[in-house]
Amino acid sequence: MSDVLAENLSGKAVMGSDGTELGMLYNITMDLRTGELDDILVDPTEETPTRSVDFDTDSGGRYRVPVSRVQAVKDYIVVQR
């Protein structure tokens, strides 16, 4: 995947590779020791089918999607499901 500036990710919708809209990008976590990105935090929409989402959640109910599952960043952030 080519480089993407963080400012271009703000407000992006996140979609599963199966076409399911998961929500909106809330934040990105990283390991401060190594500088590697860990997870993207996705704020689910009211329409997100929570039973079919297999990602861990944080204390705010946001999905923790490992960065390794990000497949593409264009109009949407597409993640492997």
Q: What is the CATH number of the domain that holds 14?
A: 2.30.30.240
What percent of the chain has pLDDT above 70? 90
Number of domains in the chain: 1
**pLDDT digits over 45-69, tens only?**
887 776 778 899 999 999 999 999 9
Quote the CA–CA distance of 64 and 5 in Å, as a whole number. Answer: 20
Considering the domain boundaries, does residue 1 fall inside one?
A: no
Considering the domain boundaries, does residue 36 fall inside one?
A: yes
Contact status, residue 18 vs residue 79, Cβ threshold 8 Å = no
**Domain around 37:** 6-79
In this predicted structure, the answer to whether residue 8 has a pLDDT above a threshold of 90 is no
Quick one: pLDDT band at residue 76, thresholds 50, 70, 90?
very high
| 11 closest CA partner among 39, 37, 33, 43 | 43
Per-residue tokens: 74: 């264009």
Which of 6-15, 33-42, 72-81 has the lowest average pLDDT? 6-15
- Please give the single-letter amino acid code of residue 75: D
